[in-house]
Amino acid sequence: MIYLNKKNIFYDLPENSLALKLFIEIEQAIIALIKKPGLEKSILSKIISFLHSKDYDPESKLQFAKQKLTLHLDNCATNNSDKILVRSLLGQISRILQENKELKEKIDNMKELVHVCELTKLYNYRFLQEMILDEISRAARSTDYISIIMLDIDNFKSINDNWGHLCGDAVLRDVAKTIKKSIFRKYDKAFRYGGEEFTVLLPKTNLEQAVIIAERIRTAINNYSFHYKKFNFNKEVTISGGIAICCDYQEKCLENIAEKLILEADTNLLQAKKLGKNRIYHQYFF
């Protein structure tokens, strides 16, 4: 999209911006074509009206102008000089659309980086706070289940203490990679909650389904070969987990529901630790 601020007739285009200058140049060129005798005026007038409309964003306006100028190139220009002018306009429109597409991709990539933990490449805690509210809201509208799994690497402190933090980082990376590979649905998301804790957010997932996914993750990590020659580390790494699900949305505050979900999953995680680790625990519905 081209970013706007509603300061002029071209609906939000910032003063002195290249986009505004391009719109003005397009308008002036089309007006010049309209004044020429023997040309099809209706399509040119439609482009002018569309450029001034407040019902469409600037990118849509440029796409419209490009489409109409392309389709009616022969009708709008009866001599070579007019055709050259139209083709020049089409070139400028294509260029600004391409530049805007590249800019949007860069912005999207930057947003992605903000939401991702640099070490594990999983989504981070900040993004979890956004996504859990979005998913609870969606689940409440459709009265559907939502589940979360809280996971914690067993005895992780001893890895850092005995083999060093770089070895601990390698374990975190491989655990994260294994968690990510163990969730298959596109709407399930894995997060690094903090330290050696991870969260998996599972929309449209009841308790039975959540247990299957959690056990898949636990088994995959239990079977993974954590072997780092440079750290002289070749040990079994296990993970414990707690599950919480929600299917009751009488509580209207989304933040309260999210807090209860995380607290319940964390409580069940602690219980899994007490029962001997390397296990998944669940107990309550709410």
Q: Is 251 a catalytic residue?
A: no
- The CATH code of the domain that includes 175 is 3.30.70.270
**Residue by residue, what is the 3-state secondary structure of the chain?**
CCCCCCCCCCCCCCCCCHHHHHHHHHHHHHHHHHHCCCCCCHHHHHHHHHHHCCCCCHHHHHHHHHHHHHHCHHHHCCCHHHHHHHHHHHHHHHHHHHHHHHHHHHHHHHHHHHCECCCCCCECHHHHHHHHHHHHHHHHHHCCCEEEEEEEECCHHHHHHHHCHHHHHHHHHHHHHHHHHCCCCCCCEEEEEECCEEEEEEECCCHHHHHHHHHHHHHHHHHCCCEEHHHCEECCCCEEEEEEEECCCCCCCHHHHHHHHHHHHHHHHHHHHHCCCCCEECCCEC
In 3D, which of 268, 275, 278 has the Cα closest to residue 224? 278
The pLDDT tens digits for 202-223 are 999 999 999 999 999 999 999 9
One domain, residues 160 and 270? yes
Tell me which of 242 and 50 has the higher pLDDT.
Answer: 242
Domain boundary among 80, 114, 148: 114
How buried is 238 (Cβ within 10 angstroms: 0-12 exposed, 13-18 middle, 19+ buried)? middle
One domain, residues 62 and 136? no
Report the number of distinct structural domains present in the chain.
2
Average pLDDT over residues 17-39: 66
One domain, residues 139 and 76? no
The pLDDT tens digits for 8-24 are 344 455 555 555 666 67
One domain, residues 243 and 146? yes
The pLDDT tens digits for 155-203 are 999 999 999 999 999 999 999 999 999 999 999 999 999 999 999 999 9
Q: Is 219 inside a domain boundary?
A: yes
Q: Is 9 inside a domain boundary?
A: no
Per the structure, the complete domain to which residue 100 belongs is given by: 18-114
Length of the chain in residues, anyone? 286
Phi and psi at residue 51, in whole multiples of 5°?
A: -60, -30
Reply yes or no on whether the pLDDT at 2 is more than 60.
Answer: no
CA distance 219 to 235: 15
One domain, residues 133 and 243? yes
One domain, residues 98 and 144? no
Q: Is 12 inside a domain boundary?
A: no
Minimum mean pLDDT among 32-46, 143-157, 222-236: which range?
Answer: 32-46
One domain, residues 71 and 202? no
One domain, residues 78 and 196? no
Tell me which of 73 and 273 has the higher pLDDT.
Answer: 273
One domain, residues 264 and 138? yes
pTM, two decimal places: 0.66
Which position among 196, 208, 255, 264 bears the catalytic label? 196
Domain boundary among 79, 114, 149: 114
One domain, residues 150 and 106? no
